[in-house]
Structures are given as C-alpha cells and as structure tokens.
Amino acid sequence: MSTTEPRIALVTGASQGIGRAIALRLAVNGAHIALAARNQEKLAEVAAEIAAAGGVVHPFALDIASEESIKACAKAVIAHFGRVEILVNNAGITRDTLSMRMRRHDWDDVLTTNLTGAFLLSQACMSTMLKSRWGRIVNITSVVGETGQAGQANYAASKAGLIGLTKSLARELATRSITVNAVAPGMIATAMTEVLTDEQKAAMAAQIPVGRAGTDVEIAAAVAFLASEDAAYITGHTLDVNGGMYMG
C-alpha cells in the first residue's frame, strides 16, 4: 500500500480463520487494523499477535446480525482511527439443512448476517471513503454463491446476494476512486474441515483440479491484492480462489 499514511482497514469476523488471516496480511502490508467480531477473547489474541509483530491494531465488538451493533462499531472505529479506507466484509454463518426442512428463522438468520450485515456496515463506513475519495470494499462470498449447493439454500442465496451487492456498490462508488470487489473461496482448510476423515477429504479434493483444499493465507493474499493500489482499475469483480473447482 504505497501511501504516505497507513491505510485503515476494518475486518469483520477477524477472531479466527479467514478473517484472522486477512487481518494479519493487511497488517504486514502496513495497514492499521480494526478487528471486529463477537468473540472478544479470541479477538484479543489476534490483536496481540499483530501488535507483537509491530502492527497497529485495535479490537472492536461487533454483532453483524444487529443493526445497532453495526452502527456502534463503525462509529467507534471512526472515532478511534479517524476513518475507514478498507472494509473487508468477512463475517458469516451457516444454518445448513435441506430446503424442505429449513425453518424460517434459519433462512432469516443467515441472510441477515451474511448479506444485510455486509450492506449495513458498508453503508456505515462509506462516508469516510467518499470524503477521502479513496476506498476498498472486499466482500467474502463463496463458490456456492456461484454454483448453488444442496442443503445450503440460505447460505448460497446470501453469498449470491453479496455478488449482486458488490456489483451494485461498485457502480455507485467508482467515480470516487472506491472499488468494490468480492473474493469467492472454494474448499478451504479450516477447523471445520479438520474434523473430516481422510477419506472424506480425499473425495472432496478429487473434485478440485489442483487436487487439494486451499488455505486461509491464500484467501488473504487475494484480499490484500484487491485492497491495494495495484487493483485500482478492478471493480465489480468476483475473484475465484477455488483451485479450479468452479470456472465461471
């Protein structure tokens, strides 16, 4: 990030997994990091990790399913750092089951968290980007938002909605040097996939042309690029990081 002052980055769902990896990578690239999540204990551990490496970081409480919490978090981040220039909408949940068995609140909870939350936080942060006439919004969607997935109608719909939101915001904000892009991970090695048997992992890997699951570090690298000065002419794009699992 070649700029005279460090960029201010807000990363949601930053307490673990992909969100943590993104926060660490942006910090290495010189950004000052606002970490946001519900789990304050884990968030403090990530903050300590970044600070120990010489980074500037501060944790903030955020329940992405709550409009009041979103507004309070954005206000607190701006009060502390003065602005938000990079927003990574990573926080999300799953409530998997077949559509015929899916309860209404499981549908609502996933759409509210994964899609509405990203919209509301983008809305709350974009005023400082507009004033600065520079900004990067990166939404973490999913390969299933492009392909669909049995048992994940709510999750796939929320992630497909993020792609539509990305394109719409990109059109609205482009004239102010604010880009809006998405990263769509495929199968990523996480704590959830670690519980799978070797046979299950092998079966899933067989569906991926590169023959393996991706890593959270690889997702973070894609986000860091889209958040950089080098990606200034890229907006409204969904970057697939899936090992060839889906080629749209």
As a whole number, mean pLDDT of residues 203-225 equals: 94
Q: Which residue has the higher pLDDT, 245 or 195?
A: 245
Tell me, yes or no, if 155 is annotated catalytic: yes
90: Cβ contacts below 8 Å, ≥ 6 apart:
11, 12, 13, 14, 18, 19, 22, 140
Q: Assign residue 205 a region: left if phi > 0, alpha if psi is -120 to 50, beta otherwise?
A: alpha
- In this predicted structure, the answer to whether residue 1 has a pLDDT above a threshold of 50 is no
**24, 49 contact by CB (below 8 A):** yes
- In this predicted structure, the answer to whether residue 74 has a pLDDT above a threshold of 80 is yes
As a whole number, mean pLDDT of residues 46-61 equals: 98
Count of CB atoms situated within 10 Å of the CB of 63: 17
As a whole number, mean pLDDT of residues 77-96 equals: 97
Tens digit of each residue's pLDDT (9 = 90 or more) over 11-20: 999 999 999 9
pLDDT interval class at 117 (50, 70, 90): very high
**Domains present along the chain, CATH in parentheses:** 8-240 (3.40.50.720)
pLDDT recorded at residue 192: 62
C-alpha 34: how far from its chain's center? 13
**132, 85 contact by CB (below 8 A):** yes
Q: Residue 238: enclosing H or E segment and its boundaries? A: strand 238-241
What distances in angstroms separate CA 212 from CA 32, 149, 194, 223, 248, one per listed residue?
Answer: 33, 20, 13, 20, 19
Tens digit of each residue's pLDDT (9 = 90 or more) over 122-177: 999 999 999 999 999 999 999 999 999 999 999 999 999 999 999 999 999 999 99
Inter-axis angle of helices 153-173 and 117-132, to 10 degrees? 20
- In this predicted structure, the answer to whether residue 35 has a pLDDT above a threshold of 70 is yes
Distance CA 182, CA 169 (A): 11
Report residue 66 as tokens: 């709550």
Distance CA 151, CA 96 (A): 6
| Catalytic annotation, pick one of 155, 166, 173, 220 | 155
Reported pTM: 0.95
DSSP assignment of 34-80 equals EEEES-HHHHHHHHHHHHHTT--EEEEE--TT-HHHHHHHHHHHHHH
